[in-house]
Structure 1
């Protein structure tokens, strides 16, 4: 039986007038990625802030959902400020923050073994959680030394893994040992398997390492980064979203942003200002990675909304 062709994404500036009006009126809330959408390591995306201003003038509620917990909320707010954008702390969600929300929602009180950055750990400690980490020192290359660093009797009830620039095999081994305990849960933050850091330059992302724990332990991870449905459920509950299709997800990555939107039932808009090229979009065949719409950048929203007076439904 022949497969049914998937509808191709439409560029938002190639929509007919009727399509444009329907699209603008079809969503009330926007979830947006940050890196690759507003800025990258190298530069700021030209006129990106004007695109968000157009959304706000049209009455859309904007929340930024990022997998990058290396940069704190305060650091994000300062960078937004340098661009001329006023963003409140509650408008920014990243894996450390969502992990705190999740742990509180299940009334977690146990000991956590964590593989993450200092910033991530600081957020959890500030929220009152007890953490273990390491080994952070050099380990001699023999099994006796390794055993001293990965075996212990600490009553760990959760393992958390996110970005850790000092990740080691010993840390993964120690986490794997804790996960032998049936009561120990596994929480994953950022899931990016590849991170675009410059034009044409990608590095291995944290998702590769969390996959090692998932596969070696046979455990399902509770995912607090995109494209985790656990994150989507938390956001929808927090914002009291009852009709997911009236949410627009904006991002620059197919596997993280578009897949996240698809899993949650949101509309999806891919921007080509970051980690995905037009050629990659056009060659993508998996339906769960194909966006509803695409744009060169969020700056295209200015032209989309130009002269448009339709407001979101309440």
Structure 2
């Protein structure tokens, strides 16, 4: 068999199909080689280091240990509900070492993206103050966030919704007040092909532990607007390389000496693959071991691209391997 770009994927010359291998489980036999292979860590937050406001299995201690080895740590999150300043407060409260410059959220990347485009119009925002405050930080005008109630007779909206001619972009993030009028406003603005369409991320759901309920993520909202607008959004969050470009530009990172830690194959791990990084999957969030096994068994090359180089049950397990 011939090895292709992914170190876990091989090309079967007889059949012309790709064959995948399981990621390596980190253990005491390979932990030293693993730790010696990188200088910089990019890590997701929800499902990796915390669940809501609770630390996941000593993840703060694990990252502080890795820092003690001289590793740089950057937190990369698709969650658009907080600014970097607000995240810094949360990190400190939960026992993580984190400066504002080490936190790269989807809202921050979105604002930087518009700034780099020298955007000078107004943004229609579906989202929270995490988005609008980052826009404020780069002096970009925006609409306000909050409820936009829907009347029982939706046809009556044609008489009450008036489009702002200053709007030149639509940004969609997580919005607990998402509603029919918001879909209508966003898709109406996007009928103009010159209006930019940006999504902070397309995560399908939130990793919420000990619950039998599905908590829909930003992806569900983005897909609704895309369907009505008949347009695809530019996604600034993972797996788009834009997040890595922002961090690398400011910190001169070497992708060959950088790892990405995450709990989702289709965002975190694919992001790492897209940026040429080593990847570590932790099974404390969305992706389960059964998912990984099904991707390995699949003939679909897109499923193979979701496979990490290494995996662990939780990030805190690193502490057990270095004792």
Does the aligned pair in 1 maintain the 2:39–2:258 contact within 8 Å?
yes
Q: Partner residue of 1:301? A: 318
Post-superposition CA distance 1:252-277 (Å, at most 9, x none): 11222111111221111011122222
Pairing 1:6–2:20 present: yes
The 1:127/1:149 distance shift into structure 2, 3 A limit, reads farther
SS in structure 2 of the partner of residue 186 of structure 1: strand
Q: 5+ residue gaps in structure 2? A: 1-14, 297-302
Q: Partner residue of 2:51? A: 40
Q: Identify the match of residue 217 of structure 1 among 214, 218, 229.
A: 229
Q: 5+ residue gaps in structure 1? A: 307-314
Distance 1:127 1:249 in 2: 28
Distance 1:80 1:230 in 2: 23
Q: Partner residue of 2:76? A: 65
Does the aligned pair in 1 maintain the 2:127–2:145 contact within 8 Å?
no
SS in structure 2 of the partner of residue 204 of structure 1: coil
Q: Partner residue of 1:130? A: 141
The 1:134/1:85 distance shift into structure 2, 3 A limit, reads closer
The 1:77/1:230 distance shift into structure 2, 3 A limit, reads closer
* CA deviation after TM superposition for structure 1 residue 173, in Å: 1.5
Does the aligned pair in 1 maintain the 2:76–2:243 contact within 8 Å?
no
Distance 2:286 2:85 in 1: 24
Q: Identify the match of residue 248 of structure 2 among 216, 227, 236.
A: 236
Pairing 1:158–2:169 present: yes
Post-superposition CA distance 1:270-295 (Å, at most 9, x none): 11122222222222341111111001
SS in structure 2 of the partner of residue 194 of structure 1: coil
Does the aligned pair in 2 maintain the 1:30–1:60 contact within 8 Å?
yes
Count of aligned pairs between the two proteins: 302
Provide the alpha-carbon RMSD of the alignment.
Answer: 2.3
* CA deviation after TM superposition for structure 1 residue 230, in Å: 2.7
Does the aligned pair in 2 maintain the 1:54–1:301 contact within 8 Å?
no
Q: Partner residue of 1:292? A: 309
Greater RCO, CA 8 A, separation 6+: 1
Moved more, 261-270 or 146-155: 146-155
Distance 2:306 2:161 in 1: 39
The 1:274/1:176 distance shift into structure 2, 3 A limit, reads same
* CA deviation after TM superposition for structure 1 residue 177, in Å: 1.2
Post-superposition CA distance 1:41-84 (Å, at most 9, x none): 37321221221122112221100011122244344333322333
SS in structure 1 of the partner of residue 188 of structure 2: helix
Does the aligned pair in 2 maintain the 1:116–1:162 contact within 8 Å?
yes
Distance 1:83 1:65 in 2: 17
Q: Partner residue of 1:274? A: 285
Q: Any residues of structure 2 matched to 1:250-261 within 5 Å, and which?
A: 250-261=261-272
Does the aligned pair in 1 maintain the 2:122–2:143 contact within 8 Å?
yes
